[in-house]
Structure 1
């Protein structure tokens, strides 16, 4: 492949004077500086500069046996002369890219077979370095072949996280990878999360919400699971990376259980009454367990202010004057056990 850099003259080199001079040359069968200078009312030096421009654009070629005499050629011939070498280099580069991709694809069976054997040998790792963890997530996200399953507790996600995730998720969907997201109900009122969900569901992703989630889970191809590191003080938690097939299969079943019980989230559709009922039922259950408002709010991924607004609504619906009375009334009515008990 040629080692010379690609070069094309700037299109703005061809101005109105060049066009008139080129027309004059075509009309007279050759380029004459005197004729062009007279036609344009310019000096011979300026006519010489235009001649040089037309030569650079391959619109003028020297006449064999007549040094210093230039004749016009057609624009098609000039274009072929200008871009021909560049097009040849592009074709060579495209072929080189195709060859590299073919060679790399030939290694995929070896890679996946070896990775599967490694997964069986290495049951799990604890990754405390956030940079290393992010690199692993990026690598698995780029290499996954069949599906990505995520569960994200804690309510609405930060908008910059969603902005970064959107193009990655859309790329995976375009590759034919199944993507499922599981959030808490409270994300339904968050504008940034709703915008993200609208974009990815339009491309084929599935999103559901539920009242409570156990913890963050990310599963790639049912081969590897990322779980949050626990009981960490003084630094951001990393992740436990699970590869052992039996444990991965168990965690996948846990995810499926959560998914089955969750409610589909399609921004723009009418809000299911079951979502509000789930939240109220969970609030009453947590209140009955003696949790404070702050704990209830954190468990359900909402602000304390929103949590207290729900508590006020619940007490009003149950015609209770105290939290204790509301808990007793809820238990007596069976609303903690029967999803249809809360209206």
Structure 2
């Protein structure tokens, strides 16, 4: 090893290796060391040994206090180098992120990417859901084939087992699908939560309030099948999350049981109408008659009239009686 190749202070640990220690002991014993003695260059570079200009081949050990200060200085230099490397990480990641955005593989922080194929949608949703740290919110209003359910199972189970909050909303009609019931049983066993809602809601996936996938529509308002928008805009993600939880509050928990395979038939005679069921779900979610009317485009008086009519039909005198009946009635599973 030449002088140019010798390690500088701070580039090696303070502890001496076995070879360096043996050379150090030889110097302490007063031996004359050849210039190529093993470990000598390192000892000189770290100023643990010094040349003796009056006696070629002899070396003088540094005093303990001087040696201590040199080792501290070396460690601090190494720490400063590490801090410098850490400071460069955001720039490196930012450069790589910019390249992904430039090639259409990643949405910009305030923009959206239109994923135009099922393959592209699947690739991005898999990447983001498996990387979730806090929360995955999924709203799936349509029928999901067995193949799709099986492919999506691990993306819900694995994060749930890691402690990520995983919540999914399905349409109430999904309770009649045995395969979907088995899927729900598997994810709820892992700690995920599933609810069903008997009304229309948009398809979406929101991850950690920082990634969101939602349906794409053309200029005429028609759904573009097999595509989705992907965004990392935090404001958009937060609005979608709020929309999700508005539906979640009105939805019914799905804890798979035998009766879930046979929900009540929409063709049967029921006490409630579709509008009344929507009103009841909103009441249970804590909304006032005025709020419910605003959401449904009805007057507060009309909402109150629906509630009063249903109470009378059931022979109840209070809203508390009505909500208790609703919580235990199979009609809550109707759309």
- TM-score with structure 1 length normalisation? 0.46
Give the structure with the higher percent helix: 1
